[in-house]
Amino acid sequence: MTIPKTDGLHRRAFLGATAAACIVGTAPPLIAAPSPQVRALVFAGSTVLAAGNGLMRSQNGGATWRAAAGPDQELRALTTHPQRPDRVVAALDAHGLAVSDDAGASWRKAGAGLPAVAIDALATAATTPDTLYAAIAGDGLWRSEDAGETWAFVMDRPFLAEAERDVTALASVDLASGMGGIWLYAGTTFGMQRVPDCFCRWQDVQPGNALDALVPGGDAPETQPLPEGQPVRALVSPAAAPARLYAALPSGIWSTDDAGMVWRKTSDVEVLAIAVDPATPLSLVAATQGALTYSRDGGETWTAGAVI
Amino acid sequence: MAAHLCIAAALSSAAIAEPSNVSFLGSTMTPAQIQTGEALYAETCASCHGENREGQPDWRRRLETGRMPAPPQDGTGHTFTHSDADLFAMTKFGIEAVVPGYESDMPPFEGVLSDPEIVAILAFLKARWPEEKLRFQAALPSMRSSPDG
């Protein structure tokens, strides 16, 4: 089945938003509306895709952008295949998924088995890229092991501060969980947790593997978690340096080099979506309320991109 | 460690039948032990984990109590992602012995089942796992690092 697509439907909004583009520093910087309302960013090989009310493409790490073909619906989340840059999986605004195998030239619906509600976050498993994860508000985590065609429920939502919390961002992180697999990190409406990809239990990031981390005793290493209780809007980990993660919070962009043991604020810039070049861990692209920006130094400094 | 020594002694005295291809804590299990485990599973475990080890319905979704339903033990759950030592400890002392603070409906079986009986049940479960799950568990770092695993 194919679905309608649109080409450049919202280009004017991007142009308007970026006409006032300016160099972005670490202070709250950015330009005002009209906003392109980018909800999701992802690297597809060396190409960057920005999705929201339209699809945009950058071939130079976010410096310049062009409108691209996309499904004729707003998009909420994106994920890509690390070895097949033309493959893009998009969460549609109402519900369901659209898949393109030709870099957006054509799209087809997928997602059999998923409930008919919107998907808040998508991720591709770092070591098994035909495995995808989807987070659904009020429900939990779903998994596809056939590149998005069929799905099954795998895990409830994280339980934080006496309540289940919706997952807002997902990152598959290629670090051994100690349980035969790797970790899936989740940003939620109330902080971050992670779960081994066998899906036995959500847990805070602690030293050691999934079970070692839970055994009391010994010297506890230094930890500096993310600010407690803040929503995590985006969470990414570059394949080339999986212990490095970036998290977008209302308080700014935070980064860690040890898989989440110690976080530090990298920038005060408040962003809605963020992507990291899988091969270049310091190369980031972010979307603020009204602009697309990029950084080449791990988020310390930011420059506004331009639509051409 | 004391528990492991106790188990090893018990297994030695029970090893009267031919070995199977299933090991537990480094010792090869006999068909007789696995048969014993099957009977004990039916008596002690099946009411929650299912007659056919299928687990409780919708076992991945949290109950109203906040606790998780009993997972399957037929290889479709996540039991195979735990080492023998952890499986034994969770069964004997409760999940909290391995995951401190974790609240579970599964009680500790210390005083209800002897160590050899717990081993027999777990060996029966392993004997019914698909081969790839046995290989997966055998490759766990916690299995390799175990002095008797």
Does the domain spanning B2-144 belong to CATH 1.10.10.10?
no
Which residues, including other chains, have CB under 8 Å from residue A145's CB and lie 6 or more apart?
A128, A130, A131
Q: Higher pLDDT residue, B114 or A23?
A: B114
Q: How many CB atoms lie within 10 A of CB B90?
A: 23
The verdict on B106 touching A (C-beta cutoff 8 Å) is no
The predicted model scores a pTM of 0.83
pLDDT in tens, A73-127: 899 999 999 999 999 999 999 899 999 998 888 899 999 999 999 999 999 999 9
Cβ separation A153–B61 shorter than 8 A: yes
Mean pLDDT of chain B: 86
| pLDDT, position B17 | 54
| pLDDT, position B7 | 47
- Give residue limits of the domains in chain B: 2-144
Task: Give me the mean pLDDT over the B111-135 stretch.
Answer: 96
Q: Which of A153, A160, A198 to mutate: most B Cβ within 10 Å?
A: A198
The verdict on A176 touching B (C-beta cutoff 8 Å) is yes
Output b/e per residue, A65-99; b: 16+ Cβ within 10 A.
bebbbbbebbbbbbbbbbeeeebbbbbbbebbbbb
| pLDDT, position B58 | 93
3-state secondary structure of B27: strand
pLDDT in tens, chain A (308 residues): 455 555 433 333 333 333 333 333 333 333 333 446 899 999 999 999 999 888 999 999 999 999 988 888 899 999 999 999 999 999 999 899 999 998 888 899 999 999 999 999 999 999 999 999 999 999 999 999 999 999 999 999 998 988 899 999 999 999 999 888 999 999 999 999 999 999 988 988 887 666 554 455 556 667 899 999 999 999 999 999 999 999 999 999 999 999 999 999 999 999 999 999 999 999 999 999 889 999 999 999 999 999 88
The verdict on A262 touching B (C-beta cutoff 8 Å) is no
Q: Which of B65, B88, B99 to mutate: most A Cβ within 10 Å?
A: B99
| pLDDT, position A21 | 33
| pLDDT, position B25 | 95
The verdict on A155 touching B (C-beta cutoff 8 Å) is yes
The residues in A 210-229 lying below 8 A from B, measured between CB atoms, are: 211, 214-216
Domains in chain A: ranges and CATH: 5-212+223-271+297-307 (2.120.10.30)
Task: Give me the mean pLDDT over the B57-64 stretch.
Answer: 92
Question: B72: which chain A residues are within 8 Å (Cβ-Cβ)?
Answer: none
Which DSSP symbol is given to B113?
B
The verdict on A308 touching B (C-beta cutoff 8 Å) is no
| pLDDT, position B5 | 42
| pLDDT, position A185 | 98
DSSP output for chain A? -B--EEESTTHHHHHHHHTT--EE-SSS----SS---EEEEEEETTEEEEEESEEEEESSTTSEEEEEEEESS-EEEEEEETTEEEEEEEEESSS-EEEESSTTSS-EEE-BTS-SS-EEEEEE-SS-TT-EEEEETTTEEEEESSTTSB-EEEEE--EETTEE--EEEEEEEEEE-SSSSEEEEEEETTEEEEEETT-S--B---SSSTTGGGS--SPPPP-BPPPTT----EEE--TTSTT-EEEEETTEEEEESSTTSBEEEEE----SEEEEETTEEEEEEEEETTEEEEESSTTSSEEE-EE-
Share of chain B above pLDDT 70, in %: 83
Task: Give me the mean pLDDT over the B133-145 stretch.
Answer: 86
**What is the count of residue pairs from A and B with beta carbons less than 8 Å apart?**
49
pLDDT in tens, B1-30: 444 444 444 444 444 456 668 999 999 999
Residue B100 has pLDDT above 70, yes or no: yes
Q: Higher pLDDT residue, B129 or A22?
A: B129
Cβ separation B98–A176 shorter than 8 A: no
